[in-house]
Amino acid sequence: MWNPDLCQDAAMAINLEGLRTVIYPAADLEVAKKWWTGTLGIEPYFDQPFYVGFDIGGYELGLLPDADPADGALVYWGVPDVPQAVASAIDAGSAVHTPAADVGDGIITATVRTPGGSILGFIFNPNFTLG
């Protein structure tokens, strides 16, 4: 049960380091990849049947074929510790949407559904640098 008093507790605060990634559901990955490639004027830097990624000014624009279009675009905020961020979000009344997982190259992601129903994504990417 959501408790607004918990959201005021500094011990529960989540250290968001900035936006990192936006992932769009892409039921037809080839059609989506072609559209985004033409629209952006660049080829994806990562192109696999399970995920396509574009580097947009150092940030990730991803296409995910198994994402639920009803959830909309998934936005991931950088955090130093994904499991801790998920635990804090759950303590504040969120529910796990996708559990923390290593998605490769030491990148850890997870999403929670907030009490208002939106999806909040967390990502730790040791390869990300601002610049």
Per-residue pLDDT of the chain (131 residues; tens, 9 = 90+): 444 554 545 446 899 999 999 999 999 999 999 999 999 999 999 999 999 999 999 999 999 999 999 999 999 999 999 999 999 999 999 999 999 999 999 999 999 999 999 999 999 999 888 76
Token pair recorded at residue 54: 């574009």
Is residue 131 included in any domain, yes or no? no
pLDDT recorded at residue 131: 65
Taking a C-beta distance cutoff of 8 angstroms, is the pair 65, 53 a contact?
Answer: no
Domain around 73: 6-10+17-124
Q: What is the model's pTM? A: 0.85
CATH of the domain at 85: 3.10.180.10
Is residue 88 included in any domain, yes or no? yes
pLDDT recorded at residue 10: 44
**Measured distance CA(35)–CA(62) in Å, rounded:** 13
Domain total in the chain: 1
pLDDT recorded at residue 1: 43
pLDDT recorded at residue 5: 54
Taking a C-beta distance cutoff of 8 angstroms, is the pair 40, 90 a contact?
Answer: no
pLDDT recorded at residue 64: 96
Is residue 36 included in any domain, yes or no? yes
